Homo-oligomer: A and B are copies of this chain.
Amino acid sequence: MSAKIGEMLTEKLKKQKNDIVPLLSDLNKISLIEGKSFEVCSKAKDELPLICGNPLLVFSNKNTSKINSELKVGVLFSGGPASGGHNVVVGLYDALKEMNPKSQVVGFLNGPDGLLKSEYKILTDDDINNVRNQGGFYLLGTSRTKFEKESDMQKCYETIQKLQLDGLLIIGGDDSNTNAAHLANYLKKSNSKTSVVGIPKTIDGDLAYLPYLQTSFGFYTASMTYSEMVGNICRDLPSSRKIWHFVKLMGRSASWITLEVAFQTQPNVALIGEEIKQKNMTLSQVIDMVCDVIEKRYSSGKKYGVVLIPEGIVEFIPEIKNLIQAINKAIVNIGNENFLKMHISERREKVIIELSQENERLFASLPYSVQNGLLSGLDPHGNVQVSQIASDVLIMDLVTERLHKKGIKLTTQAHFYGYDGRCGYPTWFDATYTYNLGRAASILVAYRKSGYMVTINKLHNDFDSWQVQAIPLAGMMNVEERKGKESLVISKYLVDLNSNAFKEFEKNRDKWAIEDSYLCPGPIQFFGDDSLVKSKSITMMLNG
C-alpha cells in the first residue's frame, strides 16, 4: 500500500522545528521588568492575599545574567483540547534544557486528576519530538476536574512537594486559570516556592483581557477548520441552488467562533448570541430575522443559503433562559434520580404541570427533539443540559414551519462542527504562539514568579513586534454568581457589541444576506506562501 498522508504529514511537521521561531531566543539575555499594578477586587484581596500584589511583568532582552538553574517543572492540560497545547510543553522543555540539560519536565496524566493522584511521567526527548506541531492533548490527556475543596489543594501540595517541583504550568481556560490562582496562593501560604503559571487555552475565544491577552490559543485553528467546512458549503450553495444549511458552531456561551467564521466565509445569516441578549429578543423575533433573509432571497430567485448559529444561543434568548430555569426547578422538585428513571412521556407530563402557562406554550412550540433535550435531566452541576439542545435543529425547524405557512417550502440540512476542530494540526499562528508561551513560562519559573498568566502582546502586529508579558491572575478576577453564591472567577470575554470586529460585521451583514458574497477559505496550508501560512484571526486583527 502507498504511504499514508497522516503518517507523512505527522512526520513532516514534527521535523519542522526551525519554522517555529523562538521570541526569547537567547535565554542568557532575559530580564523581567515590573510594569503597572493591577486593580484587584476586594474579594480577590481576601481570597488571594499572597498573589494580589503582583504587578505586570514585561520580558526584556537586555539582561546578561545567565539563567542556568536545574529546574523541575510540572505541566498539565485542563478542559477541552485546543490545537497548540503540545507546543506549550515542547517550548517549555526546549527552554529548560537550553538553560540546563539536567532540568526535567513532569507531565501530569489526565489533567488535574494526575496532580491530585500523583500520576505523571517524566518527559523525554522522544516524547517531545513526537508531539512537536501535533494537534490534540494526547501526550498527557486532559480532564475537567476542579480543585474545589481545601483537601484537593492539600493533595496538590503533597504531590508538588514530593516531586520537589520548581514550577507548575496549568494549560486551561477561564475556570482552570481561576484554579491556578487559588493554587498559587495556597502554595505560597504553605511556604512552597513552587511557581504556578497559567497558559491561556480555549478554542472558544472567551478568555481574553485586553490589551494584555488578545486571544487564547486554539481559537484560530478551530475557527479555520470550521471555516473550511462552511466555505465548502458556501461553494455548494450556488452549485446545487436548492438547500438552506443551518450550521451550529462550538464556542459555549461566546459567539466569537461564529463571528470569525462569518468573516472568513461571508454567510447569509450569522446569529450573535450577545446581540440577541442585548436587544432582549424573543425566540419568535430571532426566527423572524432569519425568515426575513430567506424570503428576500426567495423573491430574487435564490432558494439557497447558509445560517450560522452559535452553540450557546439558547442561553441568550431571555424567554428560553426563563423556560430552562423553570424546567430546572421542576426537575429539582421531582428529584433528578427519580426523573431519570421515568419514561420520556412521563417526564414531559411531570414537568409541564409545573410550568407557567406562558412557559408551557413556549415549550409546546419547540420541536420534539428540542423538548427531549430539555428533558434529559440535570448535569453533575445540577443544571439542565443546555448542550443537549440541538439549537441548529431548533432554529431550522421553527424557520421551516413559519415559512411553510407562508407557502415557502425549504429544503434544509443541519450541521454541527465542534469536536472536529479541537485537535487539528495547529496553524503556524497557534504553533508559534504556544511554543513561545511555553518558553516564556520556563523563565517565570526560573525567576520564581507565581500567580501569573503568560501572554504575548501585539499579536496583531508583525512577529518581530510580539511582546512577551506575564499578567497577574488576581487582577483578571471578578465576582460573579455561580451556583447561587458569589464567587471569584475570571469573567468570560463575550462578544463586545462596541468592538471593531462586531461593528465591521454589522456593516457587512446586510450585503452578505442578499448578495452571494461567499468565500471559501479552503483547508489550512502549512507550506508555501507566508500570506496563506502565516495568517491570523480576522476578529483579532480588527480588535487589535
Contact = CB atoms under 8 A, between A and B. Distances in A.
Interface of A: 1-10, 12, 77, 80-81, 110, 134-138, 141-142, 224-225, 227-233, 235-236, 238-241, 243, 245, 263-265, 368-369, 372, 413, 415-416, 419-425, 504, 519-529, 531-532, 535-536, 538, 541-542
A6 B523 contact: no
A254 B538 CA distance: 40
7 contacts: A4-B521, A5-B519, A8-B531, A141-B239, A232-B420, A368-B368, A527-B532
Contact of A419 (B224, B228, B243, B372): B243
A224 B5 CA distance: 10
A236 B422 contact: yes
B110 A241 contact: yes
Contacts of A77: 239
A420 B238 contact: no
A416 B229 CA distance: 12
A136 B235 contact: yes
Contacts of A416: 415
A296 to B, nearest CB: 20
Contacts of A532: 5, 8-9, 12, 527
Q: Which of the listed residues A228, A231, A413, A522 has the most CB atoms from chain B within 10 Å of its own CB?
A: A522
B419 A263 contact: no
Contacts of A368: 368, 372
Contact of A239 (B142, B413, B535): B142
Contacts of A239: 77, 81, 136-138, 141-142, 422-423
B523 A228 contact: yes
A9 B529 CA distance: 10
A504 B415 CA distance: 32
B5 A529 contact: no
Contact of A138 (B6, B81, B232, B235): B235
A4 B519 contact: yes
Given A141-B238, A415-B420, A520-B10, A1 B504 contact: yes
B536 A4 contact: no
Contacts of A232: 135, 225, 419-424
Contact of A531 (B3, B229, B369): B3
Contacts of A538: 1-2, 4
A332 B411 CA distance: 23
A247 to B, nearest CB: 9
B138 A5 contact: no
Given A5-B532, A8-B532, A415-B419, 6 more contacts: A1-B538, A5-B224, A110-B241, A141-B241, A229-B420, A527-B529
Contacts of A422: 232, 236, 239
Contacts of A504: 1
